[in-house]
Structure 1
Amino acid sequence: MRHYPPIADHGMIGDLQTAALVSSDGAIDWFCAPRFDSPSIFAALLDHDRGGSFRISAEHQDARITQLYLPDTAVLVTRFLTAEGVGEVVDFMPVDTPGTATDRHRIFRVMRVVRGSMRFTVECRPRFDYGRATHSLTLGESGRTALFTGPGIDVHLQSSAPLNADNGSDVRGAVTLQAGEFGAVVLTTSTGGGPPPAPLDAAAARSTWQATVRFWHQWLRTSRYRGRWRQTVNRSAITLKLLTYAPTGAPIAAATAGLPEQIGGERNWDYRYTWIRDASLSVKSLIDLGFSDEANSFRRWLAARVTAGATASGGPLQIMYRVDGDPRLSEEILDHLEGYRGSFPVRIGNGAADQLQLDIYGEAAFAIAQVGGVAETAGYEGWQAVVGVLDWLAGAWDQPDEGIWETRGGRQDFTYSRLMSWVAFDRGIRLAREYARPADLDRWTATRDAIFVQVMERGWSEKRRAFVQHYDTDVLDASLLLMPLVGFVAPRDPRWLATLDAIERELVSDSLVYRYDPAASPDGLRGAEGTFTLCTFHYVSALARAGRTDEARYAFEKMLTYANHVGLFAEEIGPTGEQLGNFPQAFTHLSLITAAMALDAALDKTEGLG
């Protein structure tokens, strides 16, 4: 048994309100309830001894293990293959009431044998509140149920396998199944009390499994994508859906907290929140794929944030929020957890929430400006809120900020922040004219033009022949790969092509792309980091738009080989190809979709299909 499986050695299941990671040897080692950002119940991924886990595996020590998703679903299958038999654990979370926040969530773990016989072992050892709280255990009279009672939350366990107390607070069990036989274990969390779950019934478990498969198949039928990488794009779309809190429409950045960007390093952040930047950039991709309901749900959530008023950063928007819009994300260190493979500190909350990052106003305007965006905001009041934001930005854009990467090394005049401020005014002007809405267009136009000139004069380095990270440096920054996507420069503008060449020389390593060089641009943190996967996909998009389709396709296809065994990506790729950082990361899968569509369009044009 491995104490810390590779970060990539997991699949994810979820019910659109929370999610669980399942390692390829059958352990759920990350699960929070009732929401993504709730305290953990299982967190062995951050501390094997103190975090808690829920494991079902073959008792056979020499079993070969494989893992896969049922096609086009979020139903995960872990297979155990031995000479004596082949068994499977099918993991899923039924999507019962996705649009209504609920305190009850269920994890189904169906055991079945398809050849021979197999003995499965069950081990459930919850550790509430990130392992900080104690709990009590009550075994049912039948020996097939258990109730774990923690602070403000109950965990009910129902099992086909007989259960026995282990160490006074955990349970273990085992069951032998023959070919064609089924067993099941269902874990139900509840924070509101109420009656216990209905008795476990194998037929009901199979029916719930089938209903979950139907849900995902029906949802994916909405997709309009018919390009060259349909299976890959479908998996990324499902992943984005799993990482979206359906009651509000707010997508989170990743399912996990505290996973390291460098093994043993301190870059260990909590990503279970909604970043204005990441979520806003997802809107175009969702609409292009045909998922307009999801795009409009987020835009309504965003409109509510825009109308909420001033934030701790001094601006009308905060860079991130909880999924319900709560801006309070106080950061704390969990001293009692050792961190993934000793990567300490483990942080929950996020102290970057109060940073000033001016680019978020551009990404927000980019989202609102998609087809029907004004109609989907809160009517006249919503437009007035948009006007208020842009009027504020007109007086605030020309100041240093912390920038897109949330560095903790001080404020700078970041070129990307100016770029997206230009986007904010460009899209605002378009909206006002297209929908005949009242606005100070003279001021907005003058501001937009002033930003453009400033970026061209101060964000451009003649020495480097490239756009640079901020005005007082010659350091390159991969965030600027978005310049042609948002329309600031043409994809084949000479300055842009020179920048693309410079990024390729300095930040690209075997098609993988670093954000920037932290040695040349100190970010206030110790240690190094891997290449940023989303930047690699941005690089593919930029190559495709520049007409370098052969290079773009090669980089894209190579990048896909870094996906894990079920098609998921973490935030970064390390020096030896290992996945690093929080997992799976929504922004990465968003940028994959964007790259696939840009590359499809470029290839269609090259091949005479478009």
Structure 2
Amino acid sequence: MRIEDYALLGDGESAALVDRQGSIDWLCWPTFDADTCFAALLGGPRNGHWQIAPQEAWASSTRRYCGQTLILETTFESVSGTLVLTDWMAWHAPRPVLVRQLRCERGSMKVVSKLAARFDYGRAIPWCMQADKRVRMVCGPRALWLDSTTVHSTSDENSLRASFDMSAGEQRDFALTCCRSYEDEPPRPAIEQLFADTNRFWIDWSARSRIEGEYAEPIRRSLITLRALTSTTTGGIVASPTSSLPELIGGTRNWDYRFCWLRDAGFTLLALLSGGYHAEAASWRDWLVRAIAGHPAQLQILYGVDGSRRADEWECAWLPGYEYSTPVRFGNAAVNQSQLDVYGEVLNALYMSRCAGLPPDPDAWSLEQRLVEHLQDIWREPDDGIWEVRSGARQFTFSKVMAWVAVNRALRSASEFGMPAPIARWSALADEIRHDVLTHAFDQQLQTFMQSYGSRRLDASCLLIPVTGFLPVDDPRVTGTVKAIEAGLMDEGLLLRYREDGGDGVRAEGQRPFLPCSFWLAQVRHMQGRATEARELFDRLIALRNDVGLLAEKYDNARQRQVGNFPQALSHVALVNAGLCLQGNDGSSTTPGQATRHGSGGVL
């Protein structure tokens, strides 16, 4: 399966991916960052999957989400009949439950269910036991319970298998419950009640959106996806539910994205606020404050979904990787990097929270003051940059711009909301950082901001200079930067993050368009008054979504397919923010286009 051949299921604490052939190939349970029980996505069926599909060849399979929900319907059509498979994860149930409901709508079909659970990231085979018409799968501390209206038997392949006939009007139910092996036997799931509760949650949640306009459908679907990547318990939002889906098929840039990145904080908060989801925005804000609490010198760029600080990276030698893209990694060593831009992301997000009228956090301002004071001591240091390069620290332009954003937003919180602050000293600091960027990051000959001080490399993150309010959008330096990026970083109409020299005339591994950057460009074009060009690019981007509206991290123009972890929160956040900007109804308390056009400092 291509990456875009998968659809997303979620229960508010974890997520699964199911392909067009009715196979669930990825599930970390019971949380986003837990061990896998299905890992075929990074290997094959032997690494864990659960497929329910017709045994005979079928002519077509189509799928859709049921309205504004995360309940998935896959329809199999063959000469002999029509089969509909409905998949969902019970939303925030006391114990996690994955439900698969099968009904025959026409004719008759022979169907096969094959469930192969594998723990320890795809290699540990559980002990399967029949228990009063239930099947219990145990491996160490973990257990899965299978309940169904069909009897499964253990096959020679250490999997559970059932083969049965279905006729028009017949329905069969399957439910998989996750629990600890030492816990009491879980109750049999009440499937109809679980469906009603999950369906009602999504209907009610989607109804809270105030999004209208020509781009309402992709924006709403992106907000649903973003909600599915959010922990109901902690409020943390993972960058993606997957690990090690490659940026280039067969390449080595395969990272674990099942963590929460501070760099996404401002973008995400704006998307939630603009969509009308203030409670979710407040939960994300609260997660942010809890995660970064402590000494400001120990601020990390990413955290666990519960705010934990450890993300030790290791390579999984027994998984062959998606289409043999190795190594497969779990954990992320970028947790140890220094990225100055996160200070700007954090303070921008907290400023936006105040502008939106979110309930105040009494500890937030004290934390912000400490962050600014620490930033005053370290802002001149080189860092690893927004793209988390592993080739050494530099003086990255975007990092310095976001250092200015951090101080600017703290000043605005002080002046607009009466927060106590050393205004004169902070103002001098903001001016010093701004002068440093304008002096060292702008290339007078090329008339553009460069990726880092003294370099000749373009970087798409510089598109955010007017979005942050560092310079107004009609400043000649911004105009020159946008023009240079459009000329130098375009790949068949989509935008690269930056260009790398792969040597020997070969395109380097990172040379695949990064979808959020193209959404940023559409937004900036709109801010410049280039409405037609902005819409043309935005329309092209939303056409790259798969059949159920999902986007990965990157797009491979050569292969015409999505690549990278999937679905990618930042891609969907960028879609929401750009789409709302193009429609002129971003819903935030400060309109980015208006603020930056007057040079007063916008919000992300």
TM over 0.5, yes or no? yes
Deviations 1:447-486 (A, max 9, x none): 1111111111111111221111000211110111111111
What count of residue pairs does the alignment treat as equivalent?
A: 583
Partner of 1:400: 382
2:533 alignment partner, SS class: helix
Partner of 1:209: 195
Partner of 1:6: 2
2:153 alignment partner, SS class: strand
Residue pair 2:340, 2:383 contacting (<8 A) in 1 also = yes
Higher mean displacement: 34-43 or 503-512: 503-512
Q: Does the alignment pair 1:180 with 2:169?
A: yes
Partner of 1:282: 268
* TM-score, structure 1 normalization: 0.92
Q: Which of the numbers 324, 333, 345 marks the counterpart of 2:306?
A: 324
Partner of 1:595: 578
Residue pair 1:461, 1:467 contacting (<8 A) in 2 also = yes
Alpha-carbon offset, residue 219 of structure 1:
0.4
* Alignment-mate amino acid for residue 67 of structure 1: R
Higher mean displacement: 173-182 or 453-462: 173-182
* TM-score, structure 2 normalization: 0.93
1:133 alignment partner, SS class: coil
Deviations 1:203-238 (A, max 9, x none): x42332232121101001111111211111111000
Partner of 1:78: 74
Deviations 1:319-346 (A, max 9, x none): 0000111100000000111101110100
Q: Which of the numbers 427, 440, 454 marks the counterpart of 2:422?
A: 440
Residue pair 1:52, 1:125 contacting (<8 A) in 2 also = yes
1:484 alignment partner, SS class: helix
* Alignment-mate amino acid for residue 185 of structure 1: F
Counting only pairs closer than 5 Å after superposition, residues 569-580 of structure 1 correspond to structure 2 as 569-575=551-557, 576-580=559-563
Hey, what's the Cα distance between the residues in 1 that align with 2:409 and 2:321? 43
What value does the CA root-mean-square deviation take over the aligned residues? 2.0
Alpha-carbon offset, residue 140 of structure 1:
3.3
Residue pair 2:519, 2:578 contacting (<8 A) in 1 also = yes
Alpha-carbon offset, residue 491 of structure 1:
1.8
Alpha-carbon offset, residue 541 of structure 1:
0.5
Partner of 2:283: 297
Partner of 1:252: 238
* Alignment-mate amino acid for residue 68 of structure 2: D
Q: Which runs of 5+ in 2 are unaligned?
A: 592-604
Partner of 2:155: 166
Alpha-carbon offset, residue 495 of structure 1:
1.2
Partner of 1:116: 107
Counting only pairs closer than 5 Å after superposition, residues 78-477 of structure 1 correspond to structure 2 as 78-97=74-93, 104-142=95-133, 145-167=134-156, 169-191=158-180, 193-199=182-188, 204-310=190-296, 315-372=297-354, 376=359, 378-379=361-362, 381-477=363-459
* Alignment-mate amino acid for residue 11 of structure 1: A
Alpha-carbon offset, residue 283 of structure 1:
0.5
Alpha-carbon offset, residue 134 of structure 1:
3.6
1:582 alignment partner, SS class: coil
Hey, what's the Cα distance between the residues in 2 that align with 1:393 and 1:243? 31
Residue pair 2:92, 2:232 contacting (<8 A) in 1 also = no
Higher mean displacement: 211-220 or 402-411: 211-220
Hey, what's the Cα distance between the residues in 1 that align with 2:193 and 2:235? 28
Counting only pairs closer than 5 Å after superposition, residues 577-588 of structure 1 correspond to structure 2 as 577-588=560-571
* Alignment-mate amino acid for residue 53 of structure 1: H
* Alignment-mate amino acid for residue 217 of structure 1: I
* Alignment-mate amino acid for residue 111 of structure 1: L
Residue pair 1:123, 1:172 contacting (<8 A) in 2 also = yes
Q: Does the alignment pair 1:57 with 2:46?
A: no
Alpha-carbon offset, residue 493 of structure 1:
1.6
* Alignment-mate amino acid for residue 589 of structure 1: H
Deviations 1:4-38 (A, max 9, x none): x1011000001110000001110000001110000
Partner of 2:602: none
Alpha-carbon offset, residue 149 of structure 1:
0.2
1:250 alignment partner, SS class: coil
Q: Against the structure 1 CA distance between its residues 602 and 276, is the aligned structure 2 distance closer, same or farther, given a 3 Å change threshold?
A: closer
Residue pair 1:549, 1:602 contacting (<8 A) in 2 also = no
1:271 alignment partner, SS class: coil
Hey, what's the Cα distance between the residues in 2 that align with 1:362 and 1:510? 32
Deviations 1:34-93 (A, max 9, x none): 100001110001010542101111112133111211121100111100121111110001
* Alignment-mate amino acid for residue 114 of structure 1: E
Q: Against the structure 1 CA distance between its residues 449 and 338, is the aligned structure 2 distance closer, same or farther, given a 3 Å change threshold?
A: same
Residue pair 1:299, 1:377 contacting (<8 A) in 2 also = no
Q: Which runs of 5+ in 1 are unaligned?
A: 606-610
Q: Against the structure 1 CA distance between its residues 406 and 64, is the aligned structure 2 distance closer, same or farther, given a 3 Å change threshold?
A: same
Residue pair 1:377, 1:383 contacting (<8 A) in 2 also = no
Alpha-carbon offset, residue 196 of structure 1:
2.6
Alpha-carbon offset, residue 526 of structure 1:
7.2
Alpha-carbon offset, residue 160 of structure 1:
1.7
Hey, what's the Cα distance between the residues in 2 that align with 1:95 and 1:141? 27
Hey, what's the Cα distance between the residues in 1 that align with 2:157 and 2:394? 55
Hey, what's the Cα distance between the residues in 2 that align with 1:166 and 1:402? 50
Counting only pairs closer than 5 Å after superposition, residues 493-512 of structure 1 correspond to structure 2 as 493-512=475-494
Partner of 1:608: none
* Alignment-mate amino acid for residue 67 of structure 2: P
2:75 alignment partner, SS class: strand
1:372 alignment partner, SS class: helix
1:370 alignment partner, SS class: helix
Hey, what's the Cα distance between the residues in 2 that align with 1:280 and 1:308? 21
Q: Does the alignment pair 1:567 with 2:553?
A: no
Hey, what's the Cα distance between the residues in 1 that align with 2:447 and 2:179? 59
Q: Against the structure 1 CA distance between its residues 393 and 133, is the aligned structure 2 distance closer, same or farther, given a 3 Å change threshold?
A: same
Partner of 1:47: 43
Alpha-carbon offset, residue 603 of structure 1:
12
Partner of 2:599: none
Hey, what's the Cα distance between the residues in 1 that align with 2:174 and 2:265? 35
Hey, what's the Cα distance between the residues in 1 that align with 2:199 and 2:536? 34
Hey, what's the Cα distance between the residues in 2 that align with 1:330 and 1:445? 39
